[in-house]
Amino acid sequence: MASLSEWSYGRAPVEALRFADALDGLKLRLASGERVFENLIEKLLLDNPHEVTVQLLPDIDLSARLKVRSKC
């Protein structure tokens, strides 16, 4: 899938598969004790000012529909 996004924008599709250098760099940062994932969690999740309200409503007919499907 990553190759398709590269290809769609006129770039070489195999470039998305070349991640060894980036992975090696990440491994070095982690080995040095850098808080890579911790910083991302703080920035993108904990300190993120965006919010959303989700309202969940029960489906009162779901049980009946599932029973009909299981009999087929």
Tell me the C-alpha distance between 63 and 34, whole Å: 50
Average pLDDT, the chain: 88
Could you list the mean pLDDT of each consecutive 10-residue stretch along the chain, which spans 72 residues?
Answer: 73 79 95 96 94 94 91 76
Amino acid symbol at 64? A
Tell me the C-alpha distance between 10 and 62, whole Å: 46
Q: Which two tokens stand for residue 47?
A: 């300190």
Q: Are 9 and 2 in contact (CB under 8 A)?
A: no
